[in-house]
Chains A and B, each alone.
Chain A
Amino acid sequence: MFNSLKIAGAAGTLMLAAALTPASAQMHNHPAPAGTLMLSPAWSRATPPGAKVAGGYITIENKGTAADRLVSATADVAGVVEIHEMAVIDGVMRMRALEKGLDIAPGGKVELKPGGYHIMFIDLKRQLKEGDSVKGELVFEKAGRKPVEYRVMPIGARGDMSGHKH
């Protein structure tokens, strides 16, 4: 729906995300090959008390020659997990569930990040606190089920240097 808003993949985001992740997290959270898919370290953000939802973020790169598709996801903290896209258009925030999933074109890279695509954790079972980790799976049409571990960053984190301006 917001195809025109798809952000062109910024080179180096994957490395930057890796560089910003504490070493302990990198041990088991470095870019992991999922068949021909490369997954960046996954992350989420701390939630305010009472919040029932949170976003999960990751960059998925397709090194192969065939298209794949992220069709669903699970997470241990959430009763329901959906794949969403959001955008602010003319000052209005719009969010939609991607019921058919998210295409990962061959040679392409899809960034799930604040202000755009995200894994939506719904019916949160507990408050996410900075430093926590959330275990889950991403399910791809071709690559199958891939385990991911989201590192919980502070509220307001953007996943790049701009989130650490203070």
Chain B
Amino acid sequence: MAQQATVLRIIRWGAWALIALLTAAAIYVLTRSEPPKVAIGGPFTLTAMDGARVSLPDAEKGKPFAVFFGFTHCPDICPTAMYEMGQLLKAGGSATDDFRVYFVSVDPERDTPEQLRLYLSAFDSRLIGMTGTTDEIAGVARQHRAFYRKVPTPSGYTMDHTATIYLFDRKGSFWGTLDSNEAEAPRLAKLQRLLK
């Protein structure tokens, strides 16, 4: 009986201690002057589809840009996303002339620079394929909080992957996203705001 009472007392103290801690944390978060910053994105270096090593955001020299994770053995969402991105860039007119969209392969085993170059040649020339070692790709995905995973199929494998398009501003800071479920008008409005 006495032992049980002691356990209950410890639990009670523990609970109060937890509440005190959470209160202190909440006060800290609510009163500090700096807004909480979620770091998404570079800097990173990968191999571009022409074989050159490219570092972002440095290579963009102060221009906004976008990053998409995909792979060329992708029947649906990757070609659709790249096709729609090309349409969006055309709709954006001359303001998008220097805007690059980096297609980072989550399947570096199969996506060589040459494979990416061939594949992306079907789309807008502002789409740049990027690949690297499995470790490099894992690192870049981690920086973007992007998810990808190899999934076995009867004949080989496919990839699950984050299908969001990440947008970065002139400083190379994460600015927002484009989603394939959004209609073209809001996506265009976002792109135009980013490029202003």
Contact = CB atoms under 8 A, between A and B. Distances in A.
Interface stretch (A14-22, A63-71, A113-121): A113-121
B58 to A, nearest CB: 27
A91 B158 contact: no
A109 interface: no
A80 B157 CA distance: 13
Interface in B136-179: 147, 151, 153-156, 158, 160-164, 179
Contact of A93 (B83, B115, B154, B161): B161
Interface residues of A, number: 35
A9 to B, nearest CB: 20
A91 B164 contact: yes
B157 to A, nearest CB: 10
B136 to A, nearest CB: 21
Nearest to A114: B76
Interface residues of B, number: 34
Contacts of A156: 79-80, 83-84, 87
A99 B151 CA distance: 14
A34 interface: no
A88 B163 CA distance: 8
A51 B162 contact: no
Nearest to A49: B118
A53 interface: yes
A51 B87 CA distance: 20
Contacts of A121: 75
Contacts of B118: 48-50
A120 B164 CA distance: 23
A95 interface: yes
Interface residues of A: mostly helix, strand, loop or mixed? Answer: strand
B74 A94 contact: no
B76 A55 contact: yes
Nearest to A123: B155
Contacts of A88: 77, 163, 180-181
A123 to B, nearest CB: 8
B123 interface: yes
A115 B76 contact: yes
A121 B119 CA distance: 17
Given A50-B118, A80-B155, A156-B84, A45 B79 contact: yes
Interface of A: 45-55, 80, 82, 84, 86, 88, 91-97, 99, 114-115, 118, 120-123, 155-156, 165-166
The 7 closest A-B pairs by CB, nearest first: A50-B118, A48-B122, A156-B83, A55-B75, A97-B153, A80-B155, A93-B163
